[in-house]
Structure 1
């Protein structure tokens, strides 16, 4: 779940660990992203703790409540998803739990469709969005990437990881696809509102007459996977860690295969409203604290994402 801004789809070297390094329990589950219902993380967040070293950095309202409301598309394994027991797990919930210990609050993950998360921040449904969201200028400035027009107040990002975008196909049925240009004349399944969709739209404009790239956009990534698995699409695209996890787990590793290289390596960021600078800065301080302590690295290694590690969290590092 990344996205936006007009970018150059040039190949980037692999930024995350090999699929075999993924130490993940549970399987991909079809969780409805569009229900907008609250999904507690059932213990993955930390309880409020008065002795938390960075608690005084939070806005008083949040500190008093002891909870940060997190908008997230909880169907994007291994970044955030539900395990077999229904517990919200993954890279983002684990990082949030570690930050919660620093801040003395609990992070409550609430399920929502990815392309509505920023609207949820603007309407005060969520305090933040943490959902494998790419930090880029369009999102920072509230610009619609298709029209180039401002559609709302932008957000600030607290960056915490680097990841690229990948294409995958049914196993043994690549259809000659190795690059984005090979998608002309094909049908591609993507999640709506992501970099994958943006790249597909940009590529479609380059396709020659008679070789149209057909794009099918879905509410969540697992719907796109289902479409590909059933033969309704020639390929699918998503962030590398998600694509790699799907290749590793779907059908016991027999359903899909990665093709070509990652492209568009860019930072993931925690989205925060422009006016909520105190919360933004508290989150950055908490991230830098767990980076310094080594807990951050352990979490990334647990989910096979250590090659995407950052040395320091920055604000609005996306281009």
Structure 2
């Protein structure tokens, strides 16, 4: 995620779980599943009912012929980013993006097949036609929109987590000299390089050190194991990690740089983008969208409308 096009966010992206951390109440499994403090991968509000609406004929008509013939849409996602996308105890990919993506495809008369992929490989995979699209907590940036189009579906900010009690007295607004765990290719990784460290240099302070990991789960493990002093990730990911940590982690400061996530689509595939956008609008209108967000504990990021973003980001 080091390059702007690899950045995870219409400015970001980033939890789930990784290697077991000894002497910690935060249990992370190496397979990338989100088994934290006994969590089995169930949604935070698993009892929340979700509508079972069928296909929308008008939207089905917009689906490109090749996808209609295939009947299944291959959707890339980085399953290390709970509660958005991660693996449950059985190894199945679950999360808000997964449930929403499945509902979108149902509106289009299609079946969703989610494929796990490293975050910073996804855009290249779409360009190579390995995947049809991606739901993986991508925020839209101008650089990214040179390669893909996006349909907005959720708002997220960025956030910083530390060990409970903030033993190093870290200030979210002054991260100079701090060793920060971050997922590669994310907006947060770019922020350290392009915003935080230039400001530290200008102020005559030591640069922050970014410990970059392929999986967000490994970034979380590094903080829990005290190999790093802080972790930067998207706000829903940090909030979920804190809730599941059994008191090991806390968030400091406020969420910032809030911007929409976008479903990533091949460049200039306008017909598919319109179909996906229409499905999101349907799901918002019929209440399914709100039910899914409530189920996964991320209602604060709800949008009231969806936009097709083509060279429209401001960052």
TM range (shorter): 0.7 to 0.9
Task: Find out whether 1:128 has 2:120 as its counterpart.
Answer: no
Q: Check conservation: 2:77, 2:117, Cα contact below 8 A.
A: yes
Q: Distance in 2 between matches of 1:163 and 1:55?
A: 29
Post-superposition CA distance 1:1-55 (Å, at most 9, x none): 99959xxxxxxxxxxxxxxxxxxxxx8644359xxxxxxxxxxxxxxx8875522
Q: Deviations over 1:263-318 (max 9, x none)?
A: 11000000111132211111111111111111001111111211211111101153
SS at the partner of 1:61?
A: helix
1:70–1:128 Cα contact (<8 Å) kept = yes
- Alignment match, 2:102: 97
SS in 1 for 2:190: helix
Q: Equivalent residues in 2 for 1:56-75 (5 A)?
A: 56-75=61-80
Normalised TM-score (structure 1): 0.79
Provide structure 2 residue ranges, at least 5 long, that are not aligned to the other structure. Answer: 6-26, 34-53
Displacement of 1:118:
0.5
The CA distance in 2 between the partners of 1:94 and 1:164, in whole Å, is 21
Q: Distance in 2 between matches of 1:299 and 1:29?
A: 25
| Cα separation, 1, equivalents of 2:110 and 2:167 | 47
Deviation at 1:107, TM superposition (A): 1.2
SS at match of 1:248: helix
Q: Indicate which of 187, 191, 197 corresponds to 1:204.
A: 197
What is the aligned partner in structure 1 of residue 12 from structure 2?
A: none
Q: Which residue of 2 aligns with 1:241?
A: 236
**1:86 is the counterpart of 2:81:** no
Give the whole-Å Cα distance in 2 for the aligned partners of 1:100 and 1:196.
30
Q: Are 1:263 and 2:263 counterparts?
A: no
Which residue is equivalent to 2:31? 31
Once superposed, which parts of structure 1, at least 4 consecutive aligned residues long, lie more than 3 Å away? 1-5, 27-33, 49-53
Partner of 2:59: 54
Superposed displacement of residue 254, structure 1: 2.2
The alignment partner of 2:223 has SS state of helix
Q: Partners in 2 of 1:120 and 1:110 — Cα distance?
A: 11
TM-score normalized with structure 2 length: 0.80
How many matched pairs? 269
Write the distance in 1 (CA, Å) between the matches of 2:86 and 2:57: 27
Helix, strand or coil at the partner of 1:54: helix
Matches of residues 81-230 of structure 1 in structure 2 within 5 Å? 81-141=86-146, 154-181=147-174, 183-201=175-193, 202-207=195-200, 208-209=203-204, 211-230=206-225
Deviation track 1:184-207 (CA, whole Å, cap 9, x = no partner) reads 111011001111112211101111
Residues 2 and 184 in structure 2, CA contact (< 8 A), matched pair in contact too: no
- Verify the 8 A CA contact 1:57 1:282 in the aligned structure 2: yes
1:210 is displaced (CA, Å) by 5.3
Residue matched to 1:254: 247
**Mapped contact 1:160–1:310 kept (Cα < 8 A):** yes
Contact 2:182 2:219 in 1 (8 A): yes
Q: 1:285 aligned to 271, 278, 287, which one?
A: 278
Number of the residue aligned with 2:22: none
